[in-house]
Structure 1
Amino acid sequence: MNLSWLEDFLALAASGNFSRAAEERHMTQPAFSRRIRALEEWLGTELFDRTSQPARLTAAGEWFRQAAHEMLARAARLPGEAKAVAEAHSTTLRFAATHALSFTFMPGWLRRLEASTAVGPITLVSDVFARCEAMLLQSQVQFVLSHAHPLFASELEGQDYPFARVGTDVLVPVSAPDAQGQPRYPLAQDVPGVPLPLLSYSPESGIGRILREVRGAALERSAAQSVFQAHLASVLRTMALDGRGVAWLPETLIAEDLASRRLVEAAPPDWSIEMEIRLYRDRSSLGKAAEDFWTAVCDATT
């Protein structure tokens, strides 16, 4: 059986339309139909009732839909798991961390850990939270470092991935100051016909997802209007410094900007969002070096 047959099957199961599914899979309808038939012959049963329009799943097809999802998910995890087995005796630690924490929190945090335990070589992938999360779900990395909030449940929590709370941060609404040192774009401004320019996060951003969960309803009621969107807090920081609008930025990223008043808080303190900094780990055995590192992290947080 070819794994791509499973993707063909799921495309047809979603629409029930052979032409549409063939187009989605970038092939001709006859070629697509032959692949579906080959899958059915391999299984020894029909998966679709072709007498109806759209085609409907048979009882066997309904059962196989879940099996196909599980097989594809399992196949996606295999490269990471194979790598984990190969590196079981390696001293190299494999991390994914969100961009903001890679640049701000992680260096000092590792330095503090190194004062009490040996930390071997590290490979780091710095990316948006959604991709970091996917890498851990597929066992491509051993650890993920990210922001978290009780109101934002990631898939890692949904699947009970262990984590340690290794720090805290605050998401602060800020803008460039005006000539009097006051926020150029105060969040409380209420000028009819003059929307508040908001520098917002893309859907892939973990910080953006936290902001939407905690303050989304309040922002919808305000005069805020998104004028710029980006994955990275560092990009929004640059735009805020340039006076383009108000942005919620991690305090770890803008501490020096606040101290020098290049950026100022644009709202009362109750608009800020307290966050945790968490280290998630793979659920499977990590190998001696990574397990020793995890133990040191847990000991440092107790």
Structure 2
Amino acid sequence: MRLEWIDDILAVLDSGSLARAAEKRLLTQSAFTRRVRLIEDNIGATLFDRRRKPVSLMPGVQALELELRELSTRLHKLRHTLKTESDQAGKSLSFVCQHALTTTVSPKVVRALTQDRETSVRVRSGNQDECLLQLISKEVDFAIMYAVPDDRMPEPGNAFEAKTIGTDTLIPVCAPALRTKATDAEIPTISYPPEVFLGQVFSRMIAPRLPKGTNALTRAETALTLAVLQYAVDEIGVAWLPHSLVAAHLAEGKLSRVDDVLPAQALAIRMVRLAEAQPEYGEKLWKKLEPVAASSFPTVST
């Protein structure tokens, strides 16, 4: 039984519905629903009564509320103690990046953090929901994520402290052989699932700005930006990818920019942590990263 599963169950108990529990856990409702099914599949039991609206916990699970809360408290305390002892002894630090940023930004962060040759760094990768969940559950010290400039990130009770460390641009690209398709009425595209961050950016910020009469036809869909990149190189369709991720492919002629005919979207790169007292060593590294970040991640223009 994983700690985050216990906290998911308690979130449903506290909020009274899957939708409100998803908000509390800083997940989309669809992502939280998938987690709920994963919990049930792994335990091998039905925990949620789907005959009721809103969906609620089965009576037998509700009867275990006190035991679940005590177990959650003990495990959180144990995790914090183990992590604190580890950090103080070995000066270790963990952070998580959105998938694309793991490739483009995390190497610079790791280099900056390990210059003293004393710090050990663990890097994780996930979509934005997963990054926030790992941050909330204190599995990582901070997260590096994309955001739309001027968009407010979810901040229940001012839970997060965020710093913008650079910018990027989500640009439309395709293999040179598909360049003419970018001006067709029906454009073959590689898309992101609607529940992931880049899928939301496309639906909110890009799709409404497509040329009048243009229809984006999905040829493939995946949440993994590296897979989207390969599909674009393999001439499957037009893809919207961070400029930092495709810069080398553009320079080599493997991909062509088509933002002269299709819309692009500016992105901010943010370093995020919980807004609470930090261990002395973690605070020192956070401050160390600020000037490094400012010089390492220059603005990428459209």
Partner of 1:239: 231
Q: 2:243 aligns with which of 251, 256, 268?
A: 251
Give the aligned residue type for 1:295: K
Partner of 1:149: 148
Partner of 1:261: 253
Partner of 1:161: 160
Partner of 2:82: 86
Partner of 2:119: 120
Check conservation: 1:81, 1:140, Cα contact below 8 A: no
Per-residue displacement from partner, 1:133-152 (whole Å, max 9, x unpaired)?
12112322211111111254
Check conservation: 2:109, 2:289, Cα contact below 8 A: no
Task: Give how far 1:244 is off.
Answer: 0.8
Give the alignment's TM-score, normalised by structure 2. 0.69
Per-residue displacement from partner, 1:172-205 (whole Å, max 9, x unpaired)?
1001112xxx71421x323xxxx21111111343
Structure 2 counterparts to residues 69-218 of structure 1, below 5 A: 79-80=75-76, 82-89=78-85, 90=87, 91-112=91-112, 114=114, 120-150=119-149, 152-156=151-155, 159-178=158-177, 183-186=179-182, 188-190=183-185, 195-218=186-209
Distance 1:7 1:99, change over 3 A: closer
Check conservation: 1:146, 1:278, Cα contact below 8 A: yes
Per-residue displacement from partner, 1:269-294 (whole Å, max 9, x unpaired)?
87222211111012222312211111
Task: Give how far 1:35 is off.
Answer: 7.2
Q: Distance in 2 between matches of 1:82 and 1:220?
A: 55
Q: Distance in 1 between matches of 2:95 and 2:293?
A: 19
Give the alignment's TM-score, normalised by structure 1. 0.69
Task: Give how far 1:209 is off.
Answer: 2.3
Check conservation: 1:197, 1:225, Cα contact below 8 A: yes
CA RMSD in angstroms comes to: 3.8
Partner of 2:51: 20
Distance 1:201 1:5, change over 3 A: closer
Q: Distance in 1 between matches of 2:145 and 2:108?
A: 15
Gaps spanning 5+ residues in structure 1: where?
Answer: 43-70
Which region of structure 1 is more displaced relative to structure 2, 213-222 or 248-257? 213-222
Q: Distance in 1 between matches of 2:71 and 2:211?
A: 41
> Matched residue pairs, number?
251
Overall identity of the aligned pairs, in %: 23
Q: Distance in 1 between matches of 2:10 and 2:265?
A: 46
Task: Give how far 1:225 is off.
Answer: 1.8
Check conservation: 2:228, 2:239, Cα contact below 8 A: yes
Check conservation: 1:88, 1:286, Cα contact below 8 A: no
Gaps spanning 5+ residues in structure 2: where?
Answer: 1-5, 21-48, 295-302
Check conservation: 1:200, 1:228, Cα contact below 8 A: yes
Question: Which has the higher Rg, Structure 1 or Structure 2?
Answer: 1
Task: Give how far 1:113 is off.
Answer: 5.4
